[in-house]
Chains A and B, each alone.
Chain A
């Protein structure tokens, strides 16, 4: 069965960076685009970026340009999301999610369990 297992919670100081992992299993890793979505406490969902695990090509939301780096290691089926210059409003649960469907408006059929990142001095 498809599983996306994320790394554990993180506490970071403002200005620091955080790197979260998402290990995929149960399907052919390079066959599906992968996404990162975040949710601040009590708030809605926010799309951060997309990565093509086949070639590593990425597209980031304009809101995170210059701060966000998404990578993958195909040999282990693992994705990474690196967010730098953290601010207090980056405090959120971060999810990896698998894309399905054709075209630009993919939906997310499987989600990781989420990783809470707390940014506090």
Chain B
């Protein structure tokens, strides 16, 4: 069981909007720690998509956005494209574990 909870899978048609949730607790997201999101394609290293809850590294399309509220965070992808089909992970810090924690990952399927 991951400390941060994500849906195992989400799907959407090209052009649609999808969101991926990341639910934590008072010892991680709810304690105010930043949430980051990663995209991973099979056989490759993860790549940061969103850092510090809402910021995008240069080169990441503005179709990707992040938000955070209370003990949860979300990644939104608008204008879904076939190339967005990948695994997505959220990550934060947990003060009861004194370490970084990840969500279990969400597989995005573009229909």
A interface vs B, CB < 8 Å?
Answer: 35, 44-47, 50, 59, 61-62, 95, 100-101, 103-109, 111-114
Contact = CB atoms under 8 A, between A and B. Distances in A.
Contacts of B98: 59, 62
Contact of B51 (A46, A101, A113): A101
Contact of A104 (B38, B93, B104): B93
B36 A107 contact: yes
Interface string B73-111: 000000000000000010111010111111111000000
Nearest to B100: A47
B48 to A, nearest CB: 6
A113 B45 contact: yes
B46 A45 contact: yes
A111 B105 contact: no
A100 to B, nearest CB: 7
Contacts of A104: 33, 93, 95
A111 B44 CA distance: 10
A112 B45 contact: yes
Contact of A105 (B2, B33, B38, B47): B33
Nearest to A99: B100
Contacts of B33: 103-105
A105 B34 contact: yes
A7 B101 CA distance: 25
A96 to B, nearest CB: 10
A107 B36 CA distance: 6
A106 B45 CA distance: 17
B36 to A, nearest CB: 4
A108 B89 contact: no
A103 B45 contact: no
A38 B48 CA distance: 16
Nearest to B36: A107
Given A44-B102, A95-B45, A108-B36, 5 more contacts: A47-B100, A107-B34, A107-B36, A111-B46, A112-B45
Interface in B27-76: 33-36, 38, 45-48, 51-52, 57
